């Protein structure tokens, strides 16, 4: 067997066997009538096992003016949150610019490119999804007014539920809590132990 083949075999074995498959997290952002809320569940799973049920995946940044939630590998997400905090210090009160700058670094920096996480970030006026492929996505307005965005394993369920509830006579926080409860009923990697932060 050639050296190149051995290396390829070793890499394939490492990627499939060396680290457990960590799942978990549903993060949902809802903005309605001037209120912005980010809610995140507390479950962390390793394969078929729930490792922790009360993880805190939603944080306040920039002196409480910004809220960020993360999905993906926890250590990677903390690295990105730290980088985002630094960008917010560099560009105070300019969340869009801080997110774009972070996404640019994330895409071009060799170390950051390996990070496996996503961020959902909001201030009082905007919501952004930030990904490792350089995306900074702002959700459009929903039919009932307001806007919603979600990431994580149960994100699509929470997003669909929030979109269905957005035109009801409910606050942003009530919509977020109900949508997260629906996601927790459907997604096995999501629980009902919520962290909710509002602006």
Residues noted as catalytic: 25
Q: Kindly write down the DSSP assignment for every residue of 60-124, as one continuous string.
A: EEGGGTEEEEEEE-HHHHHHHHHHHHHHHHHSTT-HHHHHHHHHHHHHH-TTGGG--EEEEEE-S
The residues pairing with 58 across neighbouring beta strands, listed in sequence order, are 69
Which SS3 state, helix, strand or coil, does residue 142 take? coil
In angstroms, rounded to a whole number, what is the distance separating the alpha carbons of residues 90 and 151?
A: 26
């Amino acid at each position: 067997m050639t050296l190149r083949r051995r290396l390829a075999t070793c890499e394939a074995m490492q990627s499939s066997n060396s680290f457990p498959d960590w799942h978990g997290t549903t993060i949902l952002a809802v903005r309605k009538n001037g209120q912005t809320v980010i809610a995140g569940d507390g479950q962390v799973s390793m394969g078929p096992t729930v490792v922790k049920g009360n993880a805190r995946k939603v944080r306040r940044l920039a002196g409480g003016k910004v809220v960020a939630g993360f999905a993906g590998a926890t250590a990677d997400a903390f690295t990105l949150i730290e980088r985002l905090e630094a960008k917010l210090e560099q560009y105070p009160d300019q969340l869009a610019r801080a997110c774009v700058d972070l996404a640019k670094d994330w895409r071009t920096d060799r170390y950051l490119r390996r990070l496996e996480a996503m961020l959902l970030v909001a201030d009082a006026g905007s919501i952004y999804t930030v990904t490792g492929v350089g995306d900074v996505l702002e959700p459009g307005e929903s039919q009932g007014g307001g806007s919603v965005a979600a990431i994580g394993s149960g994100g699509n369920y929470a997003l669909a539920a929030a979109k269905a509830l957005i035109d009801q006579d409910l606050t942003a926080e009530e919509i977020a809590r109900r949508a997260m409860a629906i996601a927790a009923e459907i997604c096995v990697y999501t629980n009902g132990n919520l962290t909710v932060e509002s602006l």
